[in-house]
Amino acid sequence: MSQPKRAKAAKKAPAGEVPCRRVQRTFRPEEHRDCPYCFGTEADVKSGEHAKFCDFHPGEDPICFGFPQNFGRYRAV
């Protein structure tokens, strides 16, 4: 019988940074403004409570939007 999967240990964010659920990296609170899913105040982001500032739903929402102009279907033939 296989052993139960262990939950990944959450990495400790560097001081002053908050994890982004979309790209799985940490950013300074003011950098979260650049994310299309983030909203709220800087204080909301600093709290680290994603329900207060993040609309991203892992497994449901896209991680990025569109394709680079020089890649795939946008590439000139």
pLDDT 10s digits, 18-74: 999 988 899 999 999 888 889 989 999 999 999 999 999 888 887 766 555 565 554
Structural domain total, the chain:
1
Radius of gyration of the chain (CA): 17
53 belongs to a structural domain: yes
Q: Report the pLDDT value the prediction gives residue 8, as an integer from 0 to 100.
A: 45
The reported pTM is 0.61
What residue type is assigned to position 67 of the chain?
Answer: F
Q: Report the pLDDT value the prediction gives residue 43, as an integer from 0 to 100.
A: 94
Closest C-alpha among 43, 46, 44 to residue 17? 46
25 belongs to a structural domain: yes
Q: Give the dihedral of Cα atoms 26, 56, 35, 72; nearest 10 deg.
A: 100
The residue whose two tokens read 């892992």 is 58
Q: Report the pLDDT value the prediction gives residue 6, as an integer from 0 to 100.
A: 43
Domain containing 50: what range?
A: 14-59
